[in-house]
Structure formats: C-alpha cells, structure tokens
Amino acid sequence: MPNRLTTEIADLHLRNPTILAAGILGLTTATLQEAIKQGAGAVTTKSISLKPRQGYANPAIVQIDNHSLLNAMGLPNPGAKHFAKEIKELKRQRLHAPIIASVFGFTLDEFTHAAEILSKAGADAIELNISCPHVKKTGSEIGQNPNLVSKVVKQVKNTIKKPIIVKLTPNVADITEIATAAAKAGANAITATNTIRAMAIDIETHQPILANKIGGLSGQAVKPIAVRCVYEIYETVNVPIIGCGGITTWQDAVEFMLAGASAIQIGTAIASEGLGIFKSISKGIDAYLRNKNFRSVKEIIGQAHRH
Ligand SMILES: Cc1cc2nc3c(=O)[nH]c(=O)nc-3n(C[C@H](O)[C@H](O)[C@H](O)COP(=O)(O)O)c2cc1C
C-alpha cells in the first residue's frame, strides 16, 4: 500500500489509518497479531483492569440489525499481570503496527497500576476506557464528569511516559466539555466514541433481552452520532482524534476523517465483514485520495470544517 495512507496519532506512526477497536478480538496475542497481519494500522486490546474480572451472564450480546449490536459484556478480562504476557509476546514478533493497551479501573490507583503494568510490558500507548456505559463505578460514570476525567488523565499521565489516549462516551449533554477536560489534563489523543446506552426487550417474554438489561449500542446505527462527536471535538480541542462508531465501509472512514479524525477504529463491522475489512477500507481510502488528487490522507482531516 502506498505511503499516501500513513498517519500519526501523538507519537504513534501508523502505516494506514485503520485501528482495531477495543473489545473486539483483542484478548490474545494470536487475534491481535492476525488483525495486524490482515492490515490494521494499529490494534487496541480488550479493556484490561488491575484484577481479573468475570463479566456478566449471557445473553451479553444481541444483534439489532445486520450491522448493529447491543452488548453488555461487563468488561471480562484476565487482569493486567496476566495480560502483560500477551503484550510481551506480541512485541517479540516485531510487527509493524503500534499496540494500544486499553485500561480501566474502579479507583485512580487501579487505572494507574494497570496502565503501568501494560506500558512496561511494551504497549506503545494507553487508551483510558472512561466510557463503558454498563459497568458501575467506572466507565461512563467517570467519563461524564469533567473533574473525574481530569483526575484520572492527570494521574496516569504523571506515571506513564507513553502517549495517553482518552476514549469518550457519547452519553453526555456536551462532549466538548469532557474533551476539553481531557485535553487540559494532558491527553495526547481522544477516541470518539464508545457505545451508546441502549436496551432491547423481547415482546414474547416481556423481558429485557440482555442479562444486564441495559447495554451499549454499536455499529452502523450509531455512526451519525459518533461523526457529530468527532466534528464537535475537532472544533474545540487541538489534540488528534480517533473516530469510532459504525465504520463499515471506506466511505464511512473518509466521513470521520473529514469531520476531524486522524485515524479510525473498527469494531462491530468485523463481525459481518471479517478481518479483511482493514485492507478493503485502506484500499478504498487510497483510491478516493488518488481520484481527488490528494497526496496524503492527512490532507483530508477536518476538511468538513471549511464549509
Ligand atoms: C462486543 C463488544 C465489546 C466491547 N468491549 C469494549 C472494551 O472492552 N473497551 C472499550 O473501550 N470499548 C469496547 N467496545 C466498544 C468498541 O470499542 C467501540 O467503541 C464501539 O463498539 C463503537 O465502534 P463500532 O461501531 O465500530 O463497534 C466493545 C464493543 C463491542 C461490540
């Protein structure tokens, strides 16, 4: 693939702007490695906490339409110490794509320790998940409060020397207020967005379908909301943005970049399109750039703001 597609997020150099989103196939060396081999410009791990966590009972995922999912997995993960081994193994393979470790915690110290362990294991950047909509005392309970966002980002930033990416929730009245708090506290990049709080009810049994009742909506259904978030954040803060939410085609990726994203993450679409999606989206963006006479994908970032 020509270097028209290279892009940067903080200190991270990506051979193309496609990134595996957190929580989709990001729990083992093998799956992260496969995403890179299949063309991902970078990969994000499943969100990892200091201690192992079981997650919620099934049903934990419901298909909403062909391209949208509702999930309340409950952030199951093996804990930072165990997961550090997966990152070390992945780093040993010297693949040409940065590894972003997603972390979460129930206290400031848990965030920091998990980030420290995964950073030492070799993660190239840390993504702070302060945006999961269905686990209490973490996630969006932090990401909806600018003071807490500031505290978490500052403390992790003071401890870790790697770039800190802050993943925001769309479940707020004003996302620019939260983005500003993250940027002021030292965030090197912002991912927008995590899933949207949602639910589904079975009309035969009259019961909420998810065991947790409420979960997070992802996939094509959320795309226009995520595009709007990226657009508003780009107008407000001067840090690189990673667009995320419903990206299924190269046209979706271009739309996010025009709104202001320097790179994009892909999650739900992998379920319907497979890992080949990284290459097909890169190829589509490249053809678009060629047809429009752009020399670099960086030239289209934020172009929608000129109108
Ligand atoms: C099954 C599933 C698990 C997820 N797990 C995580 C997670 O562990 N951490 C996180 O930050 N986001 C998680 N997400 C959210 C995605 O990373 C992404 O922000 C969201 O799904 C929107 O992008 P998409 O429409 O491309 O999937 C998860 C999403 C799904 C569908």
The 10s digit of each residue's pLDDT in 43-96 is: 999 999 999 999 999 999 999 999 999 999 999 999 999 999 999 999 999 898
Q: What is the pLDDT of residue 26?
A: 86
Asked whether residue 35 carries a pLDDT value surpassing 70, the answer given is yes
For the segment 82-134, what is each residue's pLDDT rounded down to a tens digit?
999 999 999 999 898 999 999 999 999 999 999 999 999 999 999 999 998 88
Asked whether residue 1 carries a pLDDT value surpassing 80, the answer given is no
> Using CA positions, which residue lies closest to atom 5 of ligand 1?
23
CA distance 267 to 230: 17
Asked whether residue 2 carries a pLDDT value surpassing 70, the answer given is no
CATH superfamily of 7-54+74-195+219-306: Aldolase class I (3.20.20.70)
Mean pLDDT of 130-147: 90
- Strand ranges inside the chain, DSSP E: 7-9, 12-14, 18-20, 42-44, 61-65, 68-71, 99-103, 125-129, 164-168, 189-192, 196-198, 215-219, 241-244, 261-266
In contact, 221 and 247? CB cutoff 8 Å: no
Q: Where are the domains of the chain?
A: 7-54+74-195+219-306
Q: Token pair of 154, please?
A: 């500052």
268, 277, 278: which to mutate for ligand 1, most atoms within 8 A of CB? Answer: 268
Q: What is the pLDDT of residue 217?
A: 98
Count of other CB atoms within 10 angstroms of residue 142: 26
Q: What is the pLDDT of residue 140?
A: 85
> Using CA positions, which residue lies closest to atom 29 of ligand 1?
23
- Mean residue pLDDT across the chain: 96
Q: What is the pLDDT of residue 58?
A: 96
Q: Greater confidence, 131 or 229? A: 229
The sign of the torsion formed by the CA atoms of 142, 148, 149, 151 equals negative
- Catalytic annotation on 132? yes
Q: How far is the CA of 22 from the centre of ligand 1 (A)?
A: 5
In contact, 83 and 89? CB cutoff 8 Å: no
Q: Token pair of 182, please?
A: 């993250």
Q: Helix 29-37 and helix 80-92: axis angle, to 10°?
A: 40
Residue 10 falls in which region: left (phi positive, over 0), alpha (psi -120 to 50) or beta? left
Active-site position among 132, 241, 247, 257: 132
Q: What is the pLDDT of residue 250?
A: 98
Ligand 1 pocket by Cβ (under 6 Å): 21-24, 46-47, 61, 69, 71, 73, 75, 102, 129, 167, 194-195, 218-219, 222, 244-247, 266-269
